[in-house]
């Protein structure tokens, strides 16, 4: 550890830690970014998990919110080699009859694919899509007086409902209901819970606005480009230093933690007030994930043609099946028919696998901290919609929920969203405070996905926390 004093220190180099460090450095401060592992990135890492030459995203894989993020878009990341690739279709959801619900960038094309639900889909999405550029800054921000209150209220009236209620109110076809379920299931909550419509709406609107891209070469490229920009601004990065105590850190005026509430208690518990610690201890974590990466001899042989044109495929069958899968995981049970989120990068990015070979990435939701091996259940679900899939597997790599947490300590029990994003924790994560980024100790801030606006690769938790610290500690307003 350097003996040099810094104006600010950021602990953790996930997208939010990187965003916080860049924001502070851009304000003219001297900033040190510390990462516990030897490589930066948090949820943005890519590795040869199966065989040499096969690049797999260890955590996040497809990034609609990265290209929607105003903060990321304000940075010259293409200067550092970041290039996004878009599959012809953003996402597909196959059904047993060989058809699929499809998310096109085009709103009209998507709606047309739902037959008798065409107008219902337009009624649900079109008004919000018109408002999307105006309401997105408020959606990716802490609770505050909105810049466009009327437009945001229009979004909120739908977003605060359950996914189940929206499905029943708007859709009749299984294609529309199933695709809606797959979108909502990204929220990692039972689909009958309030606010579960929010994540489905955000993903659909982001898809229609900017699409669902992948970074060429892997998610690590987002982290590397952010880090390169930070260093170009004069920032400093130190890796391989797992912070367990404030005593490990150099003298500084502000510390921003890209860690979850549990880690913050371990690192800075002695400096925090009793009431704040009580709130952090009560913070709720949600479902975990079980993840499999495959090296493949050939592409996945989906029956539905649309799946060959989509980098993201939601596998789980009907609305009822997806809802049952999510309900089981939330209730602490595993299911033999899990909802599977699958990405097939190498169909569209030839840097991900040796020539003529392919990769696939998939996970399902499981009870928090589950160590049940879901490999067979996941592969059976894929085989259900792609007969012959297993015959194409050259090698595989699996991670259960506890292994996900070991890999990234922010994923408590395998919860990749940094805590349940239910109505109780949507705006008060990780504690009920005037600013969710302030801790009870002067100069200490939290900037992880356990703060608003929550999980996803958008950097806005880090950006908003840095803005708060700049104002509080340095009297700098941005």
Indicate the domain borders of the chain.
8-83+215-284+412-474, 93-211+287-407
Tell me which residue of 78, 25, 54 sits closest to 352, measured CA to CA: 54
455 Ramachandran zone, left/alpha/beta (phi>0; psi -120 to 50): beta
- pTM of the shown model: 0.95
Cα dihedral sign, 157-163-168-171: positive
Per-residue model confidence (pLDDT) at position 436: 95
**What is the mean pLDDT of the segment spanning 396-414?**
96
The residue written with tokens 């992948």 in the block is 214
How do residues 410-421 score in pLDDT, each as one tens digit?
999 999 999 998
Instruction: With a cut of 70, say whether residue 3 has pLDDT above it.
Output: no
Contact (CB, 8 A) for 194 and 423: yes
Distance CA 100, CA 369 (A): 33
Instruction: With a cut of 50, say whether residue 1 has pLDDT above it.
Output: no
Angle at 63 between CA 58 and CA 68, to 5 degrees: 150
Per-residue model confidence (pLDDT) at position 427: 75
Its CATH class, for the domain covering 8-83+215-284+412-474, is alpha beta
Contact (CB, 8 A) for 44 and 60: yes
**What is the mean pLDDT of the segment spanning 348-376?**
98
Tell me which residue of 468, 460, 467 sits closest to 433, measured CA to CA: 468
Residues 6 or more apart whose Cβ sits within 8 Å of residue 172? 116, 117, 120
Per-residue model confidence (pLDDT) at position 477: 85
How do residues 111-142 score in pLDDT, each as one tens digit?
999 999 999 999 999 999 999 999 999 998 88
Q: Where are the alpha helices (DSSP H) in 234-344?
A: 261-268, 274-281, 319-330
How do residues 409-458 score in pLDDT, each as one tens digit?
999 999 999 999 888 787 788 998 889 999 999 999 999 999 999 999 99
Distance CA 49, CA 397 (A): 6
Per-residue model confidence (pLDDT) at position 4: 64
How do residues 210-243 score in pLDDT, each as one tens digit?
999 999 999 999 999 999 999 999 999 999 999 9
Distance CA 372, CA 361 (A): 19
Could you tell me the pLDDT band of residue 283, with boundaries at 50, 70 and 90?
Answer: very high
Residues 6 or more apart whose Cβ sits within 8 Å of residue 59? 42, 43, 44, 45, 219, 404, 407, 408, 411, 416
Token pair listed for 273: 């007030």
Contact (CB, 8 A) for 167 and 192: no
Per-residue model confidence (pLDDT) at position 255: 98
Per-residue model confidence (pLDDT) at position 20: 98
Per-residue model confidence (pLDDT) at position 148: 82
93-211+287-407: which CATH architecture? Alpha-Beta Complex (3.90)
Beta bridge partners of 256: 10, 445
Instruction: With a cut of 60, say whether residue 2 has pLDDT above it.
Output: no
Distance CA 31, CA 442 (A): 18
- Count of CA atoms in the C-beta half-sphere (13 A) of 55: 21
Per-residue model confidence (pLDDT) at position 146: 78
For the chain, what percent of residues have pLDDT higher than 90? 93
Per-residue model confidence (pLDDT) at position 281: 96
How do residues 58-113 score in pLDDT, each as one tens digit?
999 999 999 999 999 999 999 999 999 999 999 999 999 999 999 999 999 999 99
Token pair listed for 290: 């079980």
């Amino acid at each position: 550890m350097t003996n040099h004093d810094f104006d600010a220190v950021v602990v953790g180099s996930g997208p939010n830690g990187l965003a916080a460090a860049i924001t502070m450095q851009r304000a003219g401060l001297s900033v040190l970014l510390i990462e516990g592992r030897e490589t930066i990135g948090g949820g943005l890492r890519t590795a040869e998990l199966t065989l040499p030459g096969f690049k797999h995203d260890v955590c996040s894989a497809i990034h609609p919110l990265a290209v929607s993020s105003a903060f990321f878009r304000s940075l010259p990341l293409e200067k550092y080699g970041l290039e996004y690739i878009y599959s012809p279709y953003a996402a597909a959801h196959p059904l047993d009859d060989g058809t699929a619900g499809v998310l096109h960038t085009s709103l009209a094309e998507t709606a047309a694919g739902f037959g008798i639900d065409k107008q219902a889909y337009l009624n649900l999405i079109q008004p919000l899509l018109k408002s999307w550029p105006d309401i997105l800054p408020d959606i990716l921000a802490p609770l505050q007086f909105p810049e466009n209150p009327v437009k945001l209220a229009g979004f909120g009236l739908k977003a605060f409902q359950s996914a189940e209620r929206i499905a029943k109110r708007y859709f009749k076809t299984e294609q529309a209901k199933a695709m809606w379920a797959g979108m909502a299931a990204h929220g990692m909550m039972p689909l009958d819970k309030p606010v579960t419509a929010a994540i489905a709406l955000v993903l659909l609107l982001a898809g229609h606005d900017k699409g669902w891209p992948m970074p060429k070469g892997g998610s690590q490229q987002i982290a590397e480009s952010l880090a390169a920009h930070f260093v170009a601004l004069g920032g400093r990065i130190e890796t391989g230093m797992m912070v367990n105590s404030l005593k490990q850190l150099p003298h500084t005026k502000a510390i921003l933690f890209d860690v979850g509430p549990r880690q913050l208690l371990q690192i800075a518990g002695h400096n925090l007030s009793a009431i704040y610690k009580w709130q952090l201890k009560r913070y709720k974590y949600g479902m975990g994930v079980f993840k499999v990466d495959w090296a493949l001899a050939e592409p996945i042989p989906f029956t539905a043609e649309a799946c060959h044109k989509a980098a993201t495929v939601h596998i789980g069958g009907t609305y009822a099946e997806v809802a049952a899968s999510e309900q089981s995981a939330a209730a602490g049970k595993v299911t033999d028919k899990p909802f599977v989120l699958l990405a097939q990068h190498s169909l569209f990015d030839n840097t991900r696998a040796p020539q003529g070979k392919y990769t696939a990435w998939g996970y399902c939701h499981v009870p928090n901290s589950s160590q049940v091996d879901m490999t067979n259940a996941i592969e059976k679900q894929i085989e259900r919609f792609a007969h012959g899939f297993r015959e194409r597997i050259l090698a595989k790599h699996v991670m259960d929920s506890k292994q996900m947490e070991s890999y990234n300590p922010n994923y408590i029990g395998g919860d990749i969203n940094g805590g349940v994003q239910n109505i109780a924790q949507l705006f008060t994560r990780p504690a009920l405070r005037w600013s969710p980024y302030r801790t009870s100790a002067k100069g200490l801030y939290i900037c992880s996905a356990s703060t608003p606006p929550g999980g996803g690769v958008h950097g806005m938790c880090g950006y908003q926390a840095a803005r708060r610290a700049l104002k509080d500690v340095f009297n700098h307003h941005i």
